[in-house]
Amino acid sequence: MDASHAITAAPLDAAAVAAAVSHDGDGAVASFVGLVRNHNAGRRVLWLDYEAYEPLALKAFDRIAQEAAARWAGVRVSIHHRVGRVGIGEASVVIAAASPHRAEAFAACRYAIERIKQIAPIWKHEHFDGGEVWIEGATANADDEAARATAMERACS
């Protein structure tokens, strides 16, 4: 297991994740910070509660990082994701992709967030003005090559 991934109830530090993943041979580190926004599907969102199946989520992050490294030589990806209650404006996920060159760092970062949404066993429980609802996106299937191709296409567009 790559120690550079994390599932945590503590606030995320994007700069620390970026610093930890990059080394002297890198010319670029691209970071993505996913934020909890105050509206969704016409609802006024109050906060999100994230739940994760932690051991499998960490394996999924590792798999995503390996997929990125296999596609873009020299790229290292680190993924940190919150669980528990996350307030409006707080970071729910931080991805850092380090690479000798910027194009690969940008692409790998985008690829990682697309893949997280496809295969990471993590769920948002949205608390909004007037109720709560579980958000459900993709049925996770790590072997779905069509989904993987979609993520790759978005990363490279």
Partner 1 sequence: MFVRVRLFARLRELARHDELRLEVPDGSTAQDVWNGLAAEYPPLADYSRAVSVAVNDDYARLTASVRDGDEIAFLPPVSGG
Interface characters, 83-122, with partner 1 (x: CB under 8 A): ---------xx-------------------x--xxxxxxx
The amino acid at residue 139 is T
Report the alpha-carbon distance of residue 112 to residue 67 in Å, rounded.
9
- Pick from 76, 34, 30, 79: nearest CA to 59: 79
The CA–CA distances, whole Å, from 115 to 25, 69, 101 equal 26, 14, 22
Binding span for partner 1 by CB under 8 A among 23-31, 44-52, 67-75, 149-157: 44-52
43-52/122-128 β-pairing: antiparallel
Number of chain residues interacting with partner 1 (CB under 8 A): 33
Binding span for partner 1 by CB under 8 A among 18-26, 55-63, 96-104, 149-157: 55-63
Nearer to partner 1, 81 or 148 (CB): 81
For residue 66, state whether it binds partner 1 (rule: CB under 8 A): no
Nearer to partner 1, 129 or 132 (CB): 132
Q: How many C-beta neighbours within 10 Å does residue 9 have?
A: 10
Residue of the chain from 5, 76, 80, 81 that contacts partner 1 (CB under 8 A)? 81
Under a CB-based contact definition with an 8 Å cutoff, are residues 127 and 47 in contact? yes
Interface characters, 122-151, with partner 1 (x: CB under 8 A): xxxx--------xxxxxxxxxx--------
- Pick from 100, 125, 115: nearest CA to 154: 115
Residues binding partner 1 (CB under 8 A) = 34, 50-53, 55-57, 59, 81, 92-93, 113, 116-125, 134-143
